[in-house]
Chains A and B, each alone.
Chain A
Amino acid sequence: MNAYNNPLRNPQDRRLPRIAGPCVLVIFGVTGDLSRKKLMPAVYDLANRGLLPPGFALVGFARRDWANQDFAQQVHDAVKENARTEFREEVWEQLLEGIRFVSGSFDDDAAFARLGETIRELDETRGTGGNHAFYLSIPPSGFETVMTMLRKHGLTEGGEDNWNRVVIEKPFGHDLQSAKELDDVVSALFEPHEVFRIDHYLGKETVQNILALRFANQMFEPIWNNHYVSHVEITMAEDIGIGGRAGYFDGIGIARDVMQNHLLQLLALAAMEEPTSFEASQLRTEKKKVLAAARVPEPYDLHTARGQYAAGWQGGKPVIGYLEEEGVSADSGTETYAAIRVDIDNRRWAGVPFYLRTAKRLPRRVTEVALSFKRAPHLPFTATDTEELGTNALVMRIQPDEGVTLRFGAKVPGTQMEIREVSMDFGYGGSFTESSPEAYERLILDVLLGDPPLFPQQEEVELSWKILDPVLEYWASLDEQPEQYEAGTWGPRSGLEMLARDGFKWRRP
């Protein structure tokens, strides 16, 4: 059925955007923060950019006693407050016609029957043609209930000409076993290509930026290997603590929360071979290959580190330690700092350690991938000339201020001969559109268009757990609590020692 050749389209006509076909987007957990701050504004922004179809409907499902217009008001407020693009009445009216609300809990048969009626009514009055996207903005524990109810009430029955798709968010399980169980639930109802997993830290834009940098240029690829690179550091630092999320975070820890998905995805993108094309399936093949070749070297006590933030001063404000946070017991073994070394056993990367670290309550919020290069084999300068010369580095800054930094040596003007490190900087924000689309905007559009997402599929999720699971088991087997590090510093001593052992030092991002 995809053989239709639209005479009005031409590959050369690159002005024409692709507009999604008519469909209904059903959001579960629509009263949540994420929905209000990100999803609903993203839907509006898409409409404003003219990318939503005529005949688009948005259905909210939650346990509120709301009528359609109450929900519409909520959407209106959320859009006004958080949308990226300017608010325009005519765009809003186009959206408003298709906004519905269904009140109920996730195990309420009557509510799902009402949801079914609402969707059928929309299919007819709005011409949405039986195309439905379900966005589960809810904790994973609710997945099974919702999925079962969707099936029971025949909401996911597909025909030849329509589609059903589902969006789920990280965490995708808390270890290999649970990830598999979760997948069983999802795949019972949806085919792999109908499941969209979102990692909102890693938008499609970012992924594509990394791919373009690596594979659209001639000058980086020749040095992108163990002949030139000495080691790679992948950092994701947050300056905040756990806030009020002890219930979610305690017992899970930052390695499961962030390292398994975000950091290992970044590692895969930075280390993979060139895909034969940029089709999602080819990209996935390469990512899977490199993840399958990655492992954390033993012994784990030398090549991993974990910590918990202690009370301290964060950017001029006193903050409490993790163990004093509300809802966290004093003997909690949950880590808020995790660092691991990953070795990749292939010809390109053998002998180049990848260091991954992520933590809360570090000095600033930053995510980056930094390739440090070996020193030049011979320096025709005296040792004192090059005293201030570090090693060359190429840093892909992910957030904030996405861009690329090159570090290299330059002569200090006026001195006889003194070489010091300088930066050459490129920022996406500086050279391109000020506001590139939000990760959620891209994702929702991909879902509605049926574009294969660049987000991980189940196999990548499982491979990531295979890398991390042994470390998590080792950490769980330890009696002592994670090492304390003062809030507002770059982490515990064990994290520094872990690199020092290999002769390196973390760069300051």
Chain B
Amino acid sequence: MITELTDTSSRDIAAALIKARRTVGTASGLVLTLLIVTDGEHFDEVLAAAQASATAHPSRVIVVTYVDAEKPQLDATIQVGEGHPGDLLILRLHGRLREHGDSICLPLLLPDSPTIVWWPNNAPDNLALDPIGSLADRRITDAASAPDPQEALIRRARNHAAGDTDLTWTRLTRWRALLAASLEQTRATITGACVRSAPDNAPATLLAAWLSDRLGVDVTRVDGDGIGVNEVVLNTDDGDIVLSRVREGTAHYRVPGEPERSVALRRRPLTDLLTEELQRMDADDIFERTVQKVLEDSEAS
């Protein structure tokens, strides 16, 4: 059921939402509110990812977009049912309303359950102080979609607040898991490490910082030909541990004393990343330490 409201208010939206729910008869099992702040350009892609993750985490999705206009006006589309669990609200904030997004969203958040804000492209400098960001328990950004990802990452690090995470970090989970597993297998002491990646790749910067922080060794960065992270080498006294992506979807994995094997390692789609992010509501301390390390390194150089 889709309801269109023009020049409306939070109160009318809430009333229309209850009416829609009664009509469709959905159970109220929603676990979180996901606020998405995006521009017109990425709207469809972002909406598709949010709806796909809503199958894993039934949620109330509120998409906030800004419209340049003289007159402050709020337009809304409410969608309940329509093949997706949960509710979908699309809010178009005209003109000055941009500065009062919090007053519009606050009455529409689900009671008690966590609120997450996701800026799929451009994010404000300080997330926790942003009107909409201040409503959230968790704030998700994506440095990789910024014009200068490295710079965006540093900016994130500088203004980090508990509950902030970035999708560049989420992209690394599978790499990190395989590297952790390789150490469990060899139990070797790591004497050095090297990360090869596309030039200025933001996830690679994080990965190198993480390795250096956890292993206490210097991590060399090398430019490679592939996209994203290409290869990680960990030096041990018995030989190198190598994890290298040979083509999209497949990586070679080698540990000392064992035959080389291939493992599936693909670039994860947006839906996967978002689903992983929504899985946990607590602050990611390891991410925080890693971005601080990135910040220290950049200030030292």
Contact = CB atoms under 8 A, between A and B. Distances in A.
Interface residues of B, number: 43
Nearest to A425: B27
A55 interface: yes
A434 B190 CA distance: 41
Contact of A97 (B174, B216, B262): B262
B269 to A, nearest CB: 11
A6 B178 contact: no
B284 interface: yes
From B58, B250, B263, name the one whose CB has the most chain A CB atoms within 10 angstroms: B263
Interface in A33-60: 47-48, 50, 53-55
B172 to A, nearest CB: 9
A13 interface: yes
Contacts of A425: 27
From A13, A97, A124, name the one whose CB has the most chain B CB atoms within 10 angstroms: A13
A451 to B, nearest CB: 14
Given A126-B261, A127-B261, A430-B27, A16 B214 contact: no
A90 interface: yes
A66 interface: no
B253 A88 contact: no
Contacts of B216: 7
A94 interface: yes
Contacts of B263: 54, 94
A7 B85 contact: no
A391 interface: no
Contacts of A9: 180
Interface string B186-209: 010010000000000000000000
Contacts of B280: 14-15
A432 B190 CA distance: 39
Nearest to A91: B264
Contacts of A381: none
A227 B272 CA distance: 48
Contact of A433 (B56, B183, B190, B214): B56
A436 B215 CA distance: 34
Interface residues of A, number: 41
Nearest to B28: A430
A426 interface: yes
From B178, B184, B215, name the one whose CB has the most chain A CB atoms within 10 angstroms: B184
A484 B228 CA distance: 68
A6 B56 contact: no
Interface in B251-265: 253, 255, 258-259, 261-264
B215 A7 contact: yes
A91 B262 CA distance: 10
A88 B264 contact: yes
Given A6-B184, A431-B29, A125 B259 contact: yes
Interface string B247-290: 00110010100110111101000000000100010001110000
A8 interface: yes
Contact of B259 (A91, A126, A432, A433): A126
From A15, A53, A93, A124, name the one whose CB has the most chain B CB atoms within 10 angstroms: A15
A75 to B, nearest CB: 16
B258 A55 contact: yes
Contact of B176 (A8, A426, A434): A8
B143 interface: no
A50 B276 CA distance: 13
Interface in B116-148: none
Interface string B219-262: 00000000000000000000000000000011001010011011
B60 interface: no
A22 interface: yes
A413 to B, nearest CB: 15
Nearest to B174: A50
Contact of A93 (B31, B185, B190, B262): B262
A257 to B, nearest CB: 34
Contacts of B184: 4, 6, 19, 21
Nearest to B187: A4
Contacts of B264: 47-48, 50, 88, 90-91, 93-94
Given A15-B284, A430-B85, A8 B259 contact: no
B219 to A, nearest CB: 13
A229 B253 CA distance: 57
Contacts of B261: 54-55, 97, 126-127
A345 B170 CA distance: 52
A434 B180 CA distance: 29
Contacts of A22: 185, 258
A17 interface: yes
Contacts of A17: 177
Interface string B7-44: 00000000000000000000101110000000000000
A54 B244 CA distance: 13
From B29, B280, B284, name the one whose CB has the most chain A CB atoms within 10 angstroms: B29
Given A8-B215, A47-B264, A19 B181 contact: yes
B49 to A, nearest CB: 16
Contacts of B181: 19, 21, 53-54
Interface string A412-432: 000000000000011100111
Contacts of A93: 250, 262, 264
A10 interface: yes
Contact of A15 (B57, B183, B276): B276
A384 interface: no
A432 B180 contact: no
A124 B259 CA distance: 8
A127 B259 contact: yes
A36 to B, nearest CB: 23
A430 B253 CA distance: 39
Interface in B63-85: 85
B134 to A, nearest CB: 25
B173 interface: yes
A22 B185 CA distance: 8
A19 B250 contact: no
A129 B257 CA distance: 11
Interface in A437-455: none
A16 B249 contact: no
A434 B51 CA distance: 13
A125 B261 CA distance: 9
18 contacts: A8-B179, A9-B180, A15-B173, A15-B176, A16-B180, A19-B178, A48-B264, A53-B185, A54-B181, A54-B262, A93-B250, A97-B262, A125-B259, A126-B259, A126-B261, A427-B27, A427-B29, A432-B57
Interface of A: 4, 6-10, 12-17, 19, 21-22, 47-48, 50, 53-55, 88-91, 93-94, 97, 124-127, 129, 425-427, 430-434
Given A19-B180, A126-B261, A434-B55, 4 more contacts: A8-B214, A54-B263, A90-B250, A432-B31
For the complex of A and B, the 9 pairs showing the least CB-CB separation, nearest first, are: A430-B29, A90-B249, A127-B258, A19-B181, A54-B253, A8-B180, A431-B29, A54-B263, A13-B286
